[in-house]
Structures are given as C-alpha cells and as structure tokens.
C-alpha cells in the first residue's frame, strides 16, 4: 500500500512590509518562497543538467504546455512516466497553460469563447486549445502546479479590449477549475492557479483578482504584465492587485523578470517568478552578478583576469576569468552558454535566498537597498 500524495498547501511563515516568506508543499517537495523558477520550456533548462539546477537552490522548474503539446506530445510523455521522470527532475514542476505562446508564436490563430484554434509554428498542424484541453495536457504531464488558460493581450490596449479579455479569462478560469477537479487534481495533491488579468487598468485588475479569489484555486497568478509596458506601470499594477489577492495563497507573477523586477515585486507581495532571461542572456554573452550586468562580448574583457565574482559559491562565477569567458563567447563555443547560464541561475538563486533570509530577519528593506547599491557600483569596481 502506497502513501497518499502530499496535498498542495501554502504556509505563510512571516512578512516584512508587503514582502512575504513562505513555503509551498507539493507531492514532489517543498518550494521556499520567494522563489525563482528556472524555465525548462521543452523539458530542459537550456545548457544545464537538472542536478546542476537543483544544486543552485532551485526547488521548482517550469515546463511549457504549448511546446510540450506540440513536441513530443502530452500523451507520449504520460506513457513514458510523466514529465518528472521524462526530464529527470524529481522535484516540483509548474506548467503554464500554453496561452501566451499561442498568442505570440502560433500561426493563423483564431480565438473565440471555446478556446483558441491555431497552427503549429513547427509544422503547420492545426490544434484547438480549450481551457479543458490545457488542463488535460497539464494533467497528462503530471505537473504539480498547473495554470488556467487565459487570454494575454499586449499593452498598451484600449480599455474595452482589456476588459473583454479579462472577462473571457474569468469564464475560462471557471471551466479550467471544473476540468481540474474532474481529473482528480486535488486528490493527486496538485494545485491549479487562477490568473489575474486587467492590463494596465487598476479597477479591472482589482475586479479580476476579487472574482478569482471567490473561486477555489490553490494559488493566484498575475498575468499580462511585462508584455511591453514600462516597469513603473507593472509595479503600479502590483500595488493595486496584490492587496486584492488572498493572503493565505501563493502569488505568482508570470514571466518576470530582471533581478530588479523581482526585487521590487517581492517588495509588493509576490511569491513566485519565472523568466527565460537568465538562461537566454547566458546564451548571448550576458552575465548577471551582484555588481550588475556584464556583457562578455565587450572587447574590454579580453585581457581581464578577474572572475565574474570571486565571492560567489558558483564555480562558473569564481573560477573562470572574464578573458576566458570573452574568448568563449567570441569563438561561439557551447561552453560559453553553459558557464554563463550556470552563473546567471546561481545569481538569481542567491538573490532569492538573500531575500528569504532578509524577510525572516525583518531586514528586507536594508537588503533591498544594499543590493541596489551593489548594482549601481558596477563591474569595474574591484570585487
């Protein structure tokens, strides 16, 4: 007789201002929050082994429903033992709904009340992604945290269009929840998050958040930000949205972002983040450090013997010279992407751990100021 899976739960440990320190429990372990989730779009965090990702401190990674639906297919992954086994990540996995990628990547898409019809950007095959099918795919993948299907529109947009998409997303939230419960997600210990929409219109954000809070979701996300609007608009929307979100459930800001975006969003009550930025930047010669960003493509690094950060726990940051990293980037060597991605994910996890420690100590504001001062000093200053 096997033990019943651990049920999804969230424990708010402490707060410091609006910043929150908590812990999510899933069938595959605990997630310490605030948490950054490395993006494993196609069942891989690009240029990284899963044990490396774990060693850096990641408790959860993200898989992409749209890409995995197209290739290799959710049914195939299920037959092969589920996404955890498939990608050799025995810890928590969050999957998005696929909606954002349909809007941004798919060809000839057509949206109506039922869902979205589109052609694959890979081979032109036609698909119909509905709220029910999105949840079904995520259930087949076996992810611990799943997302409702929503409509994410680019900003700026007319208020009437923002409201239409927000209302549609609310109706899809109800359908997603019904399918999740019909598939036994609750009994499996999984969680489904609702997604707050409303663009850059404060009263629509509040209405969306309050409407979703009345539905029995395990967590709540803020979607439709970091889609072209200035940072100050994103932060202002968080300031009006998070107070309308349940205190006892995790809050996830989707697709964000830069280290500064994350730091400022934690200050406004967000618990979870994901973004391709640290991995994508690593593949393009950009390193994130406690002294800000370092562009290794720049010729001034060609004779620089210093490491990226001699105090870092990450070997990629501590052991390799900037001159060597510059050489790898300029030569187009695969090792450049591996080392810089390693460094970037390490820095992001160090930033998250620093915030968790500071919140628990009641010193988040001091930590926030010191981190920003470090970025302001720049990478020219002696490390």
Q: Note the helical H segments in the chain.
A: 50-55, 65-70, 74-79, 83-87, 99-105, 131-141, 159-182, 202-213, 231-241, 259-266, 277-283, 315-318, 322-331, 334-361, 364-377
CA 333 to chain CA centroid, nearest Å:
28
Token pair of 289, please?
A: 């450090």
Exposed, middle or buried: residue 335 (CB in 10 Å: 0-12, 13-18, 19+)? middle
20: left (phi over 0), alpha (psi -120 to 50) or beta: beta
User: Is 144 tagged catalytic?
Assistant: no
Candidate list 96, 200, 261, 309, residue with the active-site label? 96
274 tagged catalytic: yes
Cα separation of 156 and 167, whole Å? 18
CA distances from 55 to 59, 195, 215, 258 (A): 10, 30, 36, 22
Sequence-distant contacts of 179-185: CB under 8 A, at least 24 apart: 179/131, 179/132, 179/135, 179/136, 180/135, 180/139, 180/146, 183/135, 183/136, 183/139, 185/135, 185/139, 185/146
- Set 150, 271, 274, 379: catalytic member: 274
What gap in Å lies between CA 43 and CA 268, rounded to an integer?
31
Residues designated catalytic: 96, 274
């Amino acid at each position: 007789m096997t033990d019943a899976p651990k049920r999804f739960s969230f424990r708010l440990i402490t707060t410091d201002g609006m910043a929150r320190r908590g812990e999510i429990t899933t069938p595959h372990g605990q997630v310490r929050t605030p948490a950054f989730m490395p993006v494993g779009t196609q069942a891989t965090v690009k240029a990284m082994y899963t044990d490396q990702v774990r060693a850096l401190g990641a408790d959860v990674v993200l898989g992409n429903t749209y890409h995995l639906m197209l290739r290799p297919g959710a049914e195939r992954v299920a037959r092969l033992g589920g996404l955890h086994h498939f990608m050799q990540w025995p810890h928590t996995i969050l999957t998005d709904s696929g909606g954002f990628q349909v809007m941004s990547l798919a060809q000839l898409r057509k949206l109506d009340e039922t869902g979205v019809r589109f052609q694959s950007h890979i081979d032109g095959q036609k698909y119909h992604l509905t709220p029910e099918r999105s949840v079904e795919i995520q259930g087949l993948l076996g992810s611990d945290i799943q997302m409702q299907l929503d409509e994410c529109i680019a900003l700026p947009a007319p208020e009437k269009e923002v409201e239409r998409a927000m209302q549609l997303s609310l109706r899809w939230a109800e359908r997603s929840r019904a399918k999740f419960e019909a598939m036994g997600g609750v009994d499996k210990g999984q969680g489904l998050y609702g997604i707050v929409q409303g663009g850059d219109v404060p009263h629509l954000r509040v209405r969306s958040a309050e409407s979703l809070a009345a539905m029995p979701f395990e967590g709540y996300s803020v979607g439709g930000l970091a889609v072209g609007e200035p940072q100050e608009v994103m932060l202002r929307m968080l300031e009006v949205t998070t107070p309308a979100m349940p205190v006892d459930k995790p809050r996830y800001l989707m697709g964000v972002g830069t280290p500064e975006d994350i730091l400022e969003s934690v200050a406004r009550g967000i618990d979870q983040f994901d973004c391709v930025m640290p991995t994508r930047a690593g593949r393009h010669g950009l390193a994130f450090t406690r002294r800000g960003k370092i562009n290794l493509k720049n010729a001034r690094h060609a004779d620089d013997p210093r490491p990226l950060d001699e105090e870092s726990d990450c070997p990629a940051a501590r052991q390799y010279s900037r001159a060597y990293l510059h050489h790898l980037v300029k030569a187009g060597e695969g090792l450049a992407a591996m080392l810089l991605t390693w460094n970037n994910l390490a820095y992001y996890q160090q930033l998250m751990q620093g915030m968790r420690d500071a919140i628990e100590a009641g010193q988040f504001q001091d930590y926030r100021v010191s981190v920003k001062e470090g970025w302001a000093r720049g990478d020219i200053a002696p490390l």
